């Protein structure tokens, strides 16, 4: 993911991403996110990375990561650690 990508929708999407990947967003919002993703490679990469990260986390593989890396991930994902349940 690239730093310096300042599109406001990208920022919004980052905040909604965990709910989106959990399937907790309204259909209308999902459609908006998918429409944005279709035209934004940066966000495609982000969604892909987050999805894989959540899968890894749930398979406990993230337990192997150093704490500072996890903390940075949570910040990027805007997720409190408690939100990610195995």
Residue 10 touching Zn ion (CB under 5 A):
yes
C-alpha distances out from residue 61 to 8, 39, 48, 83, Å? 32, 31, 17, 17
Smallest separation, CB 23 to Zn ion (Å) = 20
State which of residues 17, 33, 40, 84 lies at the interface with Zn ion (CB under 5 A). 40
Output DSSP code: residue 53: H
Distance CA 74, CA 83 (A): 10
Closer residue to Zn ion (CB): 40 or 50: 40
Residue 1 touching Zn ion (CB under 5 A):
no
φ, ψ at 57 (rounded to 5°) = -60, -45
Residue 33 touching Zn ion (CB under 5 A):
no
- Residues binding Zn ion (CB under 5 A): 10, 40, 43
């Amino acid at each position: 993911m690239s730093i310096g990508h300042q599109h406001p929708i990208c920022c919004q999407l980052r905040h909604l991403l965990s709910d989106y990947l959990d399937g907790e967003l309204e259909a209308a919002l999902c459609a908006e996110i998918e429409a944005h993703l279709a035209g934004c490679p940066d966000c495609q990469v982000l969604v892909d990375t987050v999805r894989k990260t959540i899968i890894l986390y749930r398979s406990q593989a993230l337990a192997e990561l150093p704490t500072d890396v996890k903390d940075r991930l949570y910040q990027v994902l805007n997720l409190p650690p408690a939100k990610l349940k195995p």
